[in-house]
A and B are shown apart, each in its own frame.
Chain A
Amino acid sequence: MTNIVVEKKVLNENARIAEELREQFHASNVLVVNLISSPGSGKTRLLERTLELLPAGTKAAVLTGDIQTDADATRLARFGYPVRQITTGGTCHLDASMIRRHLEGWSLDELDILFIENVGNLVCPSSYDLGEEAKIVLLSVPEGEEKPLKYPSIFFKSKLVLLTKTDLLPYVPFNLETARTNVHKSNPDAEIVELSCQTGDGLARWIEWLQARMAVCV
């Protein structure tokens, strides 16, 4: 028997493309965030509110991933920023080559921030580096506070956890303190922002979080 010691990432090719993208993003001073959640946690709604609230003059763009339809791109295009739909045709996550392909023709130098809305799925997107500065996971209040324990991988890999739909707190059994504790069990360093796109509560903090990172990127 001959044993070849390899010791490389299984997703080596994805990692290579992601690293190339990351270098391009850094060279162009563009902040890239990868939004991940279950289906229906409010990623598209959050992006709508975010594009409304970004300070005037911010140059933003969105890549939005779905298995089928360009419904999200249509929703997001009305804010006047460049939006492209990535339709995966069945694949449950975005990978780095999809991002590279869909950025063709866009000048990164003309962007301050690129939002990537991943396919709604808490498991598979966590394995794929897209060259982003930060993964951000959304957990909506009706989903329950145990999600960070049930899906530790994505919470472990996310810099920011957004607890969304907080306007529903009076109507659903969701304990914010337990949710925060559970997030920090999976990732002690995760920052948490609670927000409601319906009432606007917490959105200012979210925008500040983005602005602080955009400032670092310039």
Chain B
Amino acid sequence: MHELSIACSLLDAVRVELKAYPGARVTAIGVRIGELAGVDHESLKFGFDAIVKDTELDATRLEIRSAGRDELDLAFIELEDA
């Protein structure tokens, strides 16, 4: 079960991107996970929901798409228009 570590890294990566959009509200985060990445989708969602609780990213939708090989990518961040 390393999905919690991966959820923390995902959150760090998202926050790095968000520095360019101060004050923006995130509605969704898109992740692509390869079938050989060794990452369980449900565990990642569980870990993600747990660590964003009571933060500015609380209730952000995590969209996970399957991919072919061992990708583990932050694909996109969806923002609510100001």
Proximity string of chain B (1-37) to chain A, C-beta cutoff 8 Å, 1 when within and 0 when not: 1100110011011001100010010010001000011
Q: Is the CB of A7 within 8 A of B78?
A: no
Q: Is the CB of B78 within 8 A of A3?
A: yes
**Interface set of A (CB-CB < 8 Å, partner B):** 1-14, 91-93, 95, 123-124, 126-127, 151-154, 156-157
Q: Is the CB of B73 within 8 A of A156?
A: no
Give 7 A-B contacts (CB < 8 Å), ordered by A residue. A6-B75, A6-B77, A11-B6, A12-B9, A12-B74, A151-B38, A154-B38
Interface size bracket, B side = 20 to 34
Known A-B contacts A127-B2, A152-B36; the reply to A1 vs B72 at CB < 8 A is no
Contact of B13 among A1, A12, A151 (CB under 8 A): A12
**CB neighbors of A among B44-82 (8 A):** 69-70, 72-81
Q: Is the CB of A123 within 8 A of B74?
A: no
Query: How far does the Cβ of B15 sit from chain A's closest Cβ, in whole Å?
Result: 11
Chain A residues within 8 Å of B77, by CB: 3-4, 6
Q: How many angstroms from the CA of A157 to the CA of B72 in the assembled complex?
A: 14
Chain B residues within 8 Å of A4, by CB: 17, 21, 76-79
CB-based nearest B residue for A156: B36
Given contacts A12-B13, A91-B2, A156-B36, 4 further A-B contacts (CB under 8 A): A9-B74, A10-B31, A10-B74, A157-B70
B13, B69, B81: most-surrounded residue (chain A CB, <10 A): B13
Contact of A8 among B1, B69, B74 (CB under 8 A): B74
Query: How far does the Cβ of B61 sit from chain A's closest Cβ, in whole Å?
Result: 12
Contact of B2 among A123, A152, A156 (CB under 8 A): A123
Contact of A7 among B10, B16, B37, B75 (CB under 8 A): B75
